Amino acid sequence: MKLVIAIIKPFKLDEVREALTAVGVAGMTVSEVKGFGRQKGQTEIYRGAEYSTNMVPKIKIEVVCGSDVADRVVEAVQAAANTGAIGDGKIFVLDVGQAVRIRTGETDDTAL
Amino acid sequence: MKRFDTIAASGAALALAATTATPAWAQAAAAAAAPTVNKGDTAWMMTSTLLVLMMIVPGLALFYGGLTRAKNMLSTMTQIGAVACLAMLIWVMYGYTMAFGDGGNDFISGFGKAFLAGITPDSVAATFTPGIAIPEYVFVCFQMTFAAITVALVLGSVVERMKFSAVMVFGAVWLTIVYFPIAHMVWASGGLFFKMGALDFAGGTVVHINAGVSALAASLILGKRIGYPTERIVPHSLTMTGIGTGLLWVGWFGFNAGSALEANGSAALAMINTFVATAAGGLFWMLAERLNGHKGSALGFCSGIVAGLVAVTPAAGNSGPFGAIVLGAVASVICFYAVSVLKPKLGYDDALDAFGVHGIGGMVGAIGTAIVYAPSLGGPGKPDFAIGHQLSTQLIAVVTTIVWATIGTIIATYAAKALTGLRVSQDVEREGLDLGEHGERAYNN
């Protein structure tokens, strides 16, 4: 099993979700996160007091899938989240040791 | 501009005594002097009074609360509400008599109306029209809301670090030695500025310069917030501030048009000026932002609205509509520079810009009133009105107010420091005054 973590632009969430559904992904966890990479932050001004925010809001998607479909999941995210501009995000793939469905106690691939 | 004499029961008694001596003549005189209470005026003044209350809670509470960080939202709103309540109670105990009681001198009235002694539902207070009066209880309430909002405005500079208990001590002392005397000086017929002929329709000097200067003095004694100006300290909800701005604007019609004390043409003039000066203020602050390379901002819009309102306060019934537009626009731009250039340069931490907007805007309004009052500029002044002479009168009133407010604030702040310690601990300040001072959070999610 693989854990695919994708950091994407917030407005791309719906497209990425549709693309993942199309390749058979049945569930995912989504969080609102902040961070920075090459993309510059924004400047905020309140009554003349300037603050530059280095942290840019992003969406983090976590998907656990079978090792055999991991490549297709990565491709789907990469295609759907791509705009060609700096700040499109990153995808990380990690090995997963175990999975358990809490309701039934099923494990590993059947638990996904 | 306001003139407040109370035609109390003693006047009627005097007339009655005279009647026994020379019946026919005195009866006619008494009939002519008997003031008429008009139901329309009374209803308008009751409405105005409630509009000013709306400016405090929820108006100012939301306006200021939105500008603070989320961890200090409840503290800010609670301090405003509590100090306003304190002002109401002190007002009926001895504030009203200090400002508008009978007798007294240039600086305060006599204490004959302490605890509202002698005031009944039949007591009346004079308006600007001879022979027309409003119930004195209405006048007491209307003026009560002015005392309440003024002391609440001062808190704008000291929020996010001043103890709740210190706010209450400060409020009581400050009202007693600063607000009541200045209200008397400006508005009571025996007051110093009133006798000089200073123009202050709805409280540019009494409310805004007074609150703004006091806010600056108090913030200097209190010191900066931890992390100011290097850390990111930004408004937690400009949505709340926007709602508060709207409530302030609507409420301000009670403040300004209500200061005519009657539902008449003078109130109508104050009303239209409170529309147009404010509109100019909102737009010109945003324009100033653009001219300085910034984006026109929502906070800029709100700040400009308030700056326009502050500036038109002394001029509300003392200016033509186009004079008011110029006054609102000029005040807005000057206030923009005060908060975004002057404040960082001088380095004081006037947290919510009570001085930058109310103090500076109030001074522009008070001085500008001498100009826009001129009939040649569309103002309601008499043809022989001299701008130069009026300017010097206004300046004397402004400078005296600044000096009085500064000295009084120093005394009030150190009194609070002696009794309460003034400032919360560093831990409480970092964690937020909501938890540290009140045991609650504004937002639980």
With vertex at residue B267, the alpha carbon angle to CA B261 and CA B270, rounded to the nearest 5 degrees, is 120
Over the stretch B259-287, which tens digit does the pLDDT of each residue have?
Answer: 999 999 999 999 999 999 999 999 999 99
- Chain B within 8 Å of A51 (Cβ-Cβ)? yes
CATH architecture of A2-111: 2-Layer Sandwich (3.30)
Q: How far apart are CA B252 and CA B312, in angstroms?
A: 10
Q: Which domains does chain B have, with CATH numbers?
A: 6-12+31-425 (1.10.3430.10)
Position with higher pLDDT, A74 vs B34 = A74
Nearest CA-CA distance, residue B354 and chain A, Å: 13
Record: contact B344-A51, CB cut-off 8 A: no
What residues in B contact A49, CB-CB < 8 Å?
229, 233-234, 340, 344
Mean local confidence (pLDDT), B342-346: 94
Residue B32 in this model has a pLDDT that exceeds 70: no
Nearest CA-CA distance, residue B298 and chain A, Å: 9
What whole-number percentage of chain A has pLDDT above 90?
A: 79
Asked which of B8-17, B115-124, B207-216, B381-390 is least confident by mean pLDDT, the reply is: B8-17
Q: How far apart are CA B299 and CA B19, in angstroms?
A: 63
> What is the bridge-based pairing of β-strands B124-126 and B6-7?
antiparallel
- Chain A within 8 Å of B297 (Cβ-Cβ)? yes
Q: What's the pLDDT band for B235 if we cut at 50, 70, 90?
A: very high
Over the stretch B100-109, which tens digit does the pLDDT of each residue have?
Answer: 999 999 999 9
Over the stretch B55-78, which tens digit does the pLDDT of each residue have?
Answer: 999 999 999 999 999 999 999 999
| Predicted complex: ipTM over 0.95 | no
Q: How far apart are CA B57 and CA B310, in angstroms?
A: 18
- Chain A within 8 Å of B234 (Cβ-Cβ)? yes
Record: contact B232-A51, CB cut-off 8 A: yes
Record: contact B294-A44, CB cut-off 8 A: no
In contact, B263 and B39? CB cutoff 8 Å: no
Nearest CA-CA distance, residue A42 and chain B, Å: 13
Nearest CA in chain A to B301: A47
Mean local confidence (pLDDT), B217-227: 97
Task: Compute how many other C-beta atoms are within 10 angstroms of the C-beta atom of residue A35.
Answer: 14
In contact, B185 and B107? CB cutoff 8 Å: yes
Name beta bridge partners: A7.
A60, A90
Record: contact B340-A44, CB cut-off 8 A: no
Q: How far apart are CA B30 and CA A112, in angstroms?
A: 96
- Chain B within 8 Å of A44 (Cβ-Cβ)? yes
* Of residues A46, A51, A53, nearest to B299 (C-beta): A46
pTM over 0.90? The answer is no
Mean local confidence (pLDDT), B14-30: 40
Residue B190 in this model has a pLDDT that exceeds 80: yes
Over the stretch B315-335, which tens digit does the pLDDT of each residue have?
Answer: 999 999 999 999 999 999 999
Record: contact A48-B340, CB cut-off 8 A: yes
What residues in A contact B336, CB-CB < 8 Å?
48
Instruction: Give the pLDDT confidence score for residue B152 in this predicted structure.
Output: 98
Nearest CA in chain A to B339: A47
For B403, residues 6+ apart whose C-beta sits below 8 A from its C-beta are none
Q: What's the pLDDT band for A40 if we cut at 50, 70, 90?
A: confident
- Most confident stretch, A86-90, B159-163, B228-232: B159-163
Instruction: Give the pLDDT confidence score for residue B5 in this predicted structure.
Output: 55
What whole-number percentage of chain B has pLDDT above 90?
A: 92
Record: contact B344-A45, CB cut-off 8 A: no
Over the stretch B285-311, which tens digit does the pLDDT of each residue have?
Answer: 999 999 999 999 999 999 999 999 999
The phi-psi region of residue B130 (left if phi > 0; otherwise alpha if psi is between -120 and 50; otherwise beta) is beta
Task: Compute how many other C-beta atoms are within 10 angstroms of the C-beta atom of residue B78.
Answer: 19
Instruction: Give the pLDDT confidence score for residue B21 in this predicted structure.
Output: 38
Nearest CA in chain B to A54: B232
Instruction: Give the pLDDT confidence score for residue A19 in this predicted structure.
Output: 96
Record: contact B297-A48, CB cut-off 8 A: no
For B284, residues 6+ apart whose C-beta sits below 8 A from its C-beta are B304, B308, B328, B329, B330, B332, B333
Nearest CA-CA distance, residue A53 and chain B, Å: 9
Nearest CA-CA distance, residue A52 and chain B, Å: 9
